Amino acid sequence: MSLLIEQDRSGYHTRLPTLADVKDTERVRRLQNTLIGILQQRPMSVAEWMQYLLHSPDGYYANRGIRKDFYTPSELFPGIADCYESHVRSVWDQLGRPSFFPIYELGPGNGTFAAAFLTVASKDHDFHKAVEYHLVEQSPLLVKRQKQLLQQLPSSLSKVTWHEADLTNFPFPHLSTGAVISFELHDSLPHRVVVKRKGKLMEVFICIRNNQIEEIEGSPEEETSKYLAKYPEWVDSLPEGRHIPQNILGLKLQEKLAQRLQNGTIVTVDYGYQLPYVPRNPFRWMSECEQVYYGDNFLPLWIILAGLADNSCLVDFSLLGLPTGRAGFSQVLVEQRNFLERFGIKDTVTRYARELVARNTANQQRDSNSLQLFFKNIDNLLRAAPDWLVFTETKGVNAILPRYPYFPNDWHCDLAANYIGSPI
């Protein structure tokens, strides 16, 4: 049987990556042949397929680390940590300013957000003293990068603990108070895919039939049935005939957090949606060359791009929030730009821009390129698609999303014009 990479690439509006775009072709061929070998024996769930594509030894994440195609919000602009720190510190304050306040960041990438968060937290002596910052990361490469970065913060390094572990199986301790934060974690967890046919829930599988790789629909596997049976209201809300990715691993994680966190906040930042709305394209791919592909049917591109691209699914927050909702957490889902504006992003951007100009002036240079890049990143952050969402879940406190003055969509463009002479 032909390698997956030799599937037909016609019919796509932009060039898709090929083996010529990667150096480690043997890895990609090995991964694709592994998938074919399994499919020749039995069908695979989409979650198992995704696990191989992304998280196996030959998978994409294990061999790419965090590169330029993994721009999380804090990679675009570390200053957003000011806004999230304000949210977490508000929770800590309303909980009575406890002397011990653990914060768990799940899948912390290069450690950029942790470094920025601890830097701004150090400005409040009592809060900084109370914080114990935990990084849960399974990649040894990324743990090394995180330690290299955080060693530059000697006053905060002693407050950081690393847990080199698979976060979906991580034994979270019982916390009387605390916070859990993640950026673009849930979309990369292996998702199962379900579809409702004449009111009956079916699961989508990948198989080989007539010497072709195809998708089939069948009775859900035991794990799918077990977890979705807990949430019949979600199943009832599914639209008829649509392939819907559902994040069982994320659901397990949320159930665990709901059981372990007595009071505090869970902050989940990711691409997603909330039923009854379902986006036209719930499946997502991103290649090394920063080209993004969306599709309503995951299979063609997930075959073609096996081992060559980041494969992920938009997060259904209506399912993800059910465990914590039942545990008494108050939930707010907002676009990220609205969250950032409510927690003072305009002041933060202005301060960073002034500091950048001051450094250029001190060096007797006017580095317009660095300013241009800075405001381009801000523009990308605040004009991101409306599916870039912040899901805050809090317990033991009142609502803490303050109403900041509304800013027009182009306020950051006006700032750019002031500093570099022209809008971005």
3-class SS string, 194-248: EEEECCEEEEEEEEEECCEEEEEEECCCHHHHHHHCCCHHHHHHCCECCCEEECH
- Look at 40 and 306; give whichever has higher pLDDT: 40
Give the pairing type, strands 200-209 and 330-335: unpaired
Which residue type sits at 156? S
With 70 as the cut, is the pLDDT of residue 126 above it?
Answer: yes
Which residue type sits at 181? I
Domains of the chain: 4-69+192-246+280-313 (no CATH), 77-186+321-420 (3.40.50)
For residue 390, the 8-state DSSP code is: E
Dump pLDDT digits (tens) for 291-337: 444 444 555 666 767 777 777 788 899 899 999 888 999 988 888 88
Q: Average pLDDT, stretch 93-106?
A: 97
With 70 as the cut, is the pLDDT of residue 402 above it?
Answer: no
Q: Average pLDDT, stretch 364-392?
A: 72
pLDDT band at 171 (very low <50, low <70, confident <90, very high): very high
- Give the 3-state secondary structure of residue 188: helix
pLDDT band at 94 (very low <50, low <70, confident <90, very high): very high
Q: What is the total residue count of the chain? A: 424
Query: Which is nearest to 375 in space by CA: 423, 318, 333, 317?
Result: 423
Residues 6+ apart with CB under 8 A from 19: 5, 25, 28, 29, 308
With 80 as the cut, is the pLDDT of residue 382 above it?
Answer: no
Q: Which CA distances in Å does 103 have to 97, 175, 327?
A: 14, 10, 20
Report pTM. 0.86
